[in-house]
Amino acid sequence: MVYIILGKGFEEIEAIATMDVLRRGGVKAAFASVDGKTVEGAHGIQVASDTTVKKINLFDADMLIVPGGLGGVESIERSRESMDVLKKANDTGIPLAAICAGPRVLAKIGALEGKNAVCYPGMEDQMGGAKIDNSCLSCVDGNIVTGRGPGAAIAFGLEVLRFMKGDAAAKKVAEGMTYDIR
């Protein structure tokens, strides 16, 4: 199971596009809210979560994903449970992904130290010891996948799908979406 963590103020396109791409690719995925059943995004779109961070079972977690949206990122950072589950996932080798401002959360738990990554332009100094190259839409380094921002949402989703199920699965979904994959 892939869990996409939603905090109030998350970037809707990053969360929903990633979920859509993963489900098109046959990946079992769920929205996990910091708290509550419904989470409001940065642009006022309400999304029903499938579960909460408190209920994430790391034994069945294949990956945890943090979308951007500074409000959502701050909500996750204020949630001890969210930060603890992300830290435990990182410590046990469960893959992590984040896009836009989301990589800041991964930096705070030490997951980006020495890693190649991308983030929302202007946030480079908040990425800890990561090596940031924002000339790319998305980046994979070991068990970490990062994406640059809202405009990279589909590319990021496809990169996560490629990480989970391979190049052929990502190409098939991209083709079905009439998206030129790189």
DSSP letter string, 4-31 = EEE-TT--HHHHHHHHHHHHHTT--EEE
| Known catalytic residue at 100 | yes
Contact partners, residue 118, CB within 8 Å, separation at least 6: 103, 132, 133, 134, 136, 137, 138, 139, 146, 147, 148, 152
Strand ranges, E, within 63-168: 63-66, 96-99, 116-117, 131-132, 138-141, 144-147
Catalytic residue among 100, 119, 136, 139: 100
Residues with catalytic roles: 100
